[in-house]
Structure 1
């Protein structure tokens, strides 16, 4: 039943703007860095990152992508929740013989997959940009995947909060507003704070801890929210 729900949710996206945002986020990051390196090519390659130009590109993409990830999470979750609210379909959906927890988890899994796809596009776009900029074909895939996927996985607690708000509030401005506030506090606070987890430390061991913490916390919050959803009424 859960699989059917998930397939049904994806079918609803055929005429949605959500695919535009899935592509627009990583595309925007890559375009900004193409201008960054294109306009300052000599300085970036011969001075700033002369020792490891590929790492330089990946670092620049990483710094800019954190903001895009958070805002992307807010936008995509708001669109997911907004589809049912705009159609007034929540009552009809929940009147069917399906578990309410499955309905909620389907929205969460769909959002996770869409954002994961954005990360894939970001990694491929970064690799393609480096090749176009003639950095060579020896792409450091481990480092590239680390800096494109780790921040997203470490930020999953924010995703869990956004999907909860998107489902419970018909006014999707609430999700966007909380997303902007979340971006404002990103990196603020002690290392154990979830707001610090997407800001990967330089040390590999430390940054590796941020990811399982983010995944575990995000999954726990989504499961908890699905249980709350099963006991509450949703308007719309």
Structure 2
């Protein structure tokens, strides 16, 4: 039953704009970030940040702090948009499937899309960095760790966005909500609260540890993400089960 819902959602998004977003955002961010690094090598030399990690700091700041949270809201909104149009929720739930299956399918696909976006982000960054001539050995283990942690760090935010997107049929509401909470990231991400604020967690996870003003033990970070995710996924499911389907 759950697998059938997963397949149904795949059919809906396989020709969606999400795949263009998944490619366009990493290309845009990588061009800006790597170009900025190459044009200011003297500054990065003074900061002892030459090489791949120096270039990455110019990418992850804008990606993790601003664009990734916004991309998440777009992905989740698009996944729910099909059901908001023309009584789609009623039609889907008229079949012998549970609301939990429908809700969790949206969650799983949101996680998959965000994970794939992180993979594309790393591939595009490394490709453009090599073309531009970034020097040094690629720190594969560090990059892979940051990208995995960055993916896990989006789970709470995905749960929040899914809760909002299933309740509001206006496509723009979740995106506007994200814009409102993205701006405080500039001030929160480098504080002790950065690990606990859902919109700051992705950039916190993808920033090199030596560039963070406050570094908490990794188990605390995972605990914060897991607790936030559980609170919002349970709350969202509870609300979805009790909402009137339109």
Q: TM-score, normalised to structure 1's length? A: 0.86
Deviation per residue, 1:60-109 (Å, 9 max, x gap): 21111121111111111111111221243110101111111110010111
After superposition, give the CA deviation of every residue in 1:9-52 in whole Å (9 maximum; x if it has no partner).
Answer: 011113321222222222221121233234x164366x346554
Residue 97 (structure 1) aligned with residue 101 (structure 2) = no
Q: Is 1:224 matched up with 2:223?
A: no
Tell me the equivalent position of 2:36: 36
Structure 1 segments unaligned to the other structure (5+ residues) = none
Post-superposition offset of 1:137: 6.8
Gaps of 5+ in 2: none
Is 2:27–2:121's contact at 8 Å kept on the other side of the alignment? yes
Question: How far apart are 1:146 and its partner, in Å?
Answer: 3.4
Report what 1:120 is aligned to.
119
Q: Is the 8 A contact 2:73 2:161 kept in 1?
A: yes
> Could you tell me whether the CA contact under 8 Å between 2:29 and 2:63 is conserved in 1?
yes
Aligned-residue CA RMSD in angstroms?
A: 2.5
Q: Distance in 2 between matches of 1:17 and 1:51?
A: 36
Match of 1:61 among 52, 59, 62: 59
- 2:196 pairs with one of 183, 193, 196: 193
Query: Residue 131 of structure 1 contacts residue 137 of structure 1 at CA under 8 Å; is this kept in 2?
Result: no
Does the 8 A contact of 1:6 with 1:106 survive in 2?
yes
Instruction: Tell whether the 8 Å contact from 2:196 to 2:225 is kept in structure 1 after alignment.
Output: no
Partner deviation per Cα, 1:150-204 (whole Å, 9 max, x = no partner): 3342242222111111111111221011110120222537526324433427369
For the residue of structure 1 that corresponds to 2:242, the secondary structure is coil
Q: Which residue of 1 aligns with 2:81?
A: 82
Q: How many residue pairs align between the two structures?
A: 233
Are the equivalent residues in 2 in contact too, given 1:29–1:61 (CA < 8 A)?
yes
1:148 aligned partner: 147
Q: Using the alignment, how far apart are the partners of 1:234 and 1:55 within structure 2? A: 49
Question: How far apart in 2 are the matches of 1:10 and 1:233?
Answer: 25
